[in-house]
Every structure is written in C-alpha cells, then in structure tokens.
Amino acid sequence: MTEAPILTDRTALARHRARARTLPDHGPAMFLHRLALTDVQERLTEVNRTFTAPAVVSGFPEIWRDLRPDARQAPDDERLDLVPGAHDLVVHAMGLHWANDPLGQLVQCRRALRPDGLFIAVLPGGRSLQELRTSLAEAEARVTGGLSPRVLPMAEIRDLGGLMQRAGFALPVADSLVQTVEYRDFAALMSDLRAAGETNALAGRLRRFTSRSVLAAAATVYAGTFVTAEGRLRATAELLFLTGWAPHDSQQKPLRPGSARSRLADALGVPEGRLSKDG
C-alpha cells in the first residue's frame, strides 16, 4: 500500500514555533488564536454539560490553557499524548492544518473521548491567506519562471465534514468564520506570520531563502491587487470549526427509511398525486 505523502516538516514547524515565542511581536500576532479561543469558549457555554476531564491539543498551550486551566495539554504531534476513553471533552486548537494525517488526528481524538464526549476542532480554512498565495505565485512565476510550495494548502469545510464522519463522530457539524485583516504593508504581514509560527514548514519547500526579487515582486502584486481604499493591504483569515460527539445510545439517530407514520401531503394539507413521466 502506498503511504500518504508527507506534507509538513515537523522539525521545521517546531523550530518556527520556538523562534516565534522569542519575537517581541509574538503576542499581538497570536490574535487569531485568541479569536478562536473566545469562539470555542462561547460554544462550550451553549452546551448543557459540565465537563470534568477536558483535554486540549495545541502547539501553543500558553494561550490555550486559558480555555480550561484544568485541561490536559497535549502537543499537536502526529501521535497524540491522549489516553483512550479518558476525556469527556477534547479540543484540537489551531494545529490540524499542519497535520500530515488529519483523519488520523480526528480518530485519535475520538478514541480519547468517553461515550457521549464532545470534540471541537478549530483551524485555518481554505480561504485563509488567499491574497498572499496569489501574490507569491504570480511573483515567483514572473521572476523565476516556475512555482514552488510556499503557502500551506488548507482544507475546505466540506472535506473536513466528510473526515469527521469517517473518523466515527456522531452528529458532526462544520461551520466557518471569515475575518478580513488589514496591514500597513507586505512586510508587516510577513512579520505577523513569523511571529505566529506560521511560516513555510512544508516538506516540499525550497531549501534556500526566498530571493529579494521574488519578495519585492510579491509585495508589488499584493499592493496593486489587494489594497483597501485607505491604501492598506487586506488579508483573509478563515476559521473552520468542527464539532462532533463520541457515539452513545442516548443520542438522536436518523429514522429508518420507510418508518414514517404520517404522510407529508397530510401535514401540508394538500392532495397527493403521482408524478408524470413527462414532468
């Protein structure tokens, strides 16, 4: 059986995250994590449940510890440090987009849950950094005549919803939140990505620094295409939220086909007829 290709260089990702923590603008650059944290907190308040054994999977526990101070903190490694059946809540926080095996991550989280336990994941979605992706691709093609992997390909919401079902979650739901962020210039955007630990950690990336000519061309394309009326650069940030439950007999289940006890026509108060083959 052919093994799945390796997307992320985990060593490089760990190095980028460690460097980010040392940068003076690291705190402000983590605004998306804080936005995601606030949203997850609000979702938990809407669940009529008291969680006694929570766990959080994250590459930045110093931020996500605020979600539940009593939660077990597990790094977002390929093999999660979670005990099967030990938790009634698992939150996978802003790291699933770097996983080489996202389905495997979801399966591990589901196995870590007790029956009827809740799973929530939040991660950047496919529309995130679409402006940067376009600008870098056009600039590199213009300067070098080719393309190289530079921006992480992020998942679409419909794909992740399917993965939730494959992972065995009951009552899966996927939704998104889109934010537009503005920057004074291209350098400020790139600085934020470095300070957030989100720079290029793709396994297939070029093993050399990006030339100044490519970056300058990308800045020109960006400023000429994705600029606001006030002259600032806009960047799209999409957060995807996945929610599901570990299966339990008490949960709602779809009715078996043909088991309905009343007709739709009766409920609507209209006569029932046959469809003709001619439409």
Report yes or no: 191 and 273 within 8 Å, Cβ to Cβ.
no
If you average pLDDT over every residue of the chain, what do you get?
Answer: 89
Q: 120: which DSSP letter?
A: E
- The answer to whether position 265 is within a domain reads no
Tell me the sheet residues that pair with 217: none
Cα gap 54→91, rounded to integer Å: 8
Q: Does 148 fall in a domain? A: yes
If pLDDT is split at 50, 70 and 90, which confidence band does 275 have? low
Contact 218, 186 (CB under 8 A): yes
At 258 the pLDDT is: 56
Give the chain's length.
Answer: 279
Number of domains in the chain: 1
Q: Is residue 196 part of a domain?
A: yes
Question: Which pLDDT does position 2 carry in this prediction?
Answer: 47
Distance, CA of 77 to chain centre? 15
Higher per-residue pLDDT: 127 or 154: 127
pLDDT at 254: 55
Residue 41 lies in a domain: yes
Percent of the chain, pLDDT > 70? 87
> Of all residues in the chain, what percent carry a pLDDT higher than 90?
73
Domain of 192 in residue numbering reads as 10-249
Q: Residue type at 36?
A: A
pLDDT band per the 50, 70, 90 thresholds, residue 161:
confident
Residue 277 pLDDT exceeds 60: no
CATH of the domain at 62: 3.40.50.150
Q: 10: which 2 tokens?
A: 């985990």
Q: Looking at the domain assignment, is residue 142 inside a domain? A: yes
Which pLDDT band holds residue 145 (cuts at 50, 70, 90)? Answer: confident
CA distance 110 to 164: 9
Q: Is the pLDDT of residue 225 over 80?
A: yes
Residue 129 in domain: yes
> Does residue 257 fall inside a structural domain?
no
Q: Identify the band that residue 172 occupies on the pLDDT scale cut at 50, 70 and 90.
A: very high
Q: Is residue 18 part of a domain?
A: yes
Calculate mean pLDDT across residues 205-217.
85
